A and B are shown apart, each in its own frame.
Chain A
Amino acid sequence: MTTALELQAVCKQYGALKVLSSIDLKVAAGSRTAIVGPSGSGKTTLLRIIAGFEVPDAGRVSLGGQLLADGGAAIPAHKRGIGFVPQDGALFPHLTVADNVGFALPRGMPGRDQRIAELMDMVSLDTAMLKRRPHEISGGQQQRVALARALAQSPRLMLLDEPFSALDTGLRASTRKAVAQLLSSAGITSILVTHDQAEALSFADQVAVMRAGQLVQAGHPSELYLRPRDVETASFLGESIVLPAQLAGGWADCALGRVAVNDAKRSGAAQIMLRPEQLLVTEVPADAGRAAGEPAACFGAVTDTDFGGSVCVLSVRLLRGNGAHALSAQAPDPLAEPLLVRSPALQVPPVGATVRITVSGQAHVFARVAP
């Protein structure tokens, strides 16, 4: 896969504040990348540097082999041919939809109207909308017009700055899917910036997590989800259950009993991570926990249920059983802290019932944290 965009050691600071510290990123041609992180992580600044609205203090940005920025020098934005879709579209209110879409197209260009109609078609918008003004169409439609506008110049790279955050929840998912499909079928390399992790995971071929100006991890979504580099990344990308454990030969002993892990070589104390979907609860008779049985089994009592439609969240208090370890290293009484477990609504155990918790799949071991 050819590399379209490459960032090397890009740094940016405003006064004393280091907004970006040595960012390295490669984006393959035709792929979709999502840059995700909490507010203040510097992701928008990174996007603006790629777009050319800001100049990096150090580092290089190159697109398709062409050097766009190097240290303090940069090619200005209007010469880069990079499409940009800002938050809520920023359509020009004094122009019609048609003029907006055709903004980048030269006035006297032959077949201009045709091209505009084509673009509207690409984003699945009715051409009857062309005569309207931006304030006369809905938010979702505005976003699509903004996309069409950016696509008009057949850009080498598309940058999207939180494009779906202004949309209603219901609209968000469908618009996202449609945009992702459009961009991949057109073969345009695109970078999406968002703070919504679900959006990033579903939209992109490559997800890059940023925190406090640093690029923490970049890779395929499933890679990041199943094998995050550290605890913060894990919790950012979804709900996670992090436990201290003792590792030995591919197994970990933790509060949930004996759990398989994905690192066979490590041994000793470590932190392991489980995703909620890996925990299964089954109701068992009340005295099962006290029976001598599987030494590594894990039992608990349901203390609270939170009905959520199709999925319920149960609070389960672990019962002291064989092989039960502390749930967390810090809690004064580890067994008092409840475990949050998901269960399909059809089989919810009532409050007070005893349940057995089983773990499917492997837990992920976090890399050793350098002291």
Chain B
Amino acid sequence: MNFPFKSLVSVMALGASLTVMPLASMAQPAQTVTPSADGIVVYNAQHVSLTKAWADAFTKQTGIKVTMRNGGDTELGNQIVQEGASSPADVFLTENSPAIALVDSAGLFAPLSPETLQEVPENFRPGHGRWVGIAARSTVFVYNKSKLFPAQLPKSMLDLAEPAWKGRWAASPSGADFQAIVSALYELKGEAATLSWLQGMKKNAVPYKGNGTVLKAVNAGQVDGGIIYHYYRFGDQARTGENSNNTELHYFRNQDPGAFVSLSGAGVLASSKHAPEAQAFVKWIAGKGGQEILRTGDAYEYAVGVGAKSHSKLVPLAELQAPRVEPSKLNSKKVTDLMTQAGLL
């Protein structure tokens, strides 16, 4: 029996025409991010609300259109690396430095203009000048007020691997944020110490998915405390506070690995077809315009620009006694390998 090809073709034609319409509305790499003639494409791993505020203000001031593609640090970083020179991205914004270091090590960034570099103090940008810090966040130990008294708090993040802390603290090991903290630990203390700390964490910590979930769990008393970034609590307090009213923040200080301040980075892709606009955007974020938004907005991340002040509610950066870590050296791949070895991933 001959297969009725004519009918099949007509059915397929019908099907194709029916699907073209919805597909047209689908996000394809070249479509939702088709930049207009004078716009740029930003691969954004920062919190969407913050980047949106930056983009809107930038567009208002300069008239340059900004199209965002949102995602996670590692996701977008890896995507850019995979896309290589044909990536449509002009600018890459991250929450932590390992991801931007990853893209840099693939040689995909163009050097930033000297004016941009001048906006950021030296300790908040790598020496090679291919990316700069645009915001920062501090590692904290958030704890439940009724479960822990200040005398009982851990002196160092390394204490959390001790048997005394079994089942009493939480973190989000699968997230890029926590992995950045571990990468700092690796940079500061070396492989052996990091691995043994991770193994202790495997025994002691309760894993959650997402820093916000950790905060909520600590608040509910499911665990005594957790390792997250500072701005989650500030943000929740500024809203309803229902996920953080029972909690307090503990800063480790003393150049402890637990006082690590993670740098959010921005870089311009070498393959960008709108280099001047891209450079302008990065300069703007690092400069007064962008940093002012950090001071007055509801992101509660630290401002890092020269002479920029952070939000008044935050503990000033200088007082945090953060350890010195070269941001471009943070190695995400090594961290995931170690975490896999310890059984956390």
Asked whether any CB of A lies within 8 Å of a CB of B in the complex, the reply is no
Q: A residues bordering B, Cβ < 8 Å?
A: none
B interface, CB within 8 angstroms of A: none
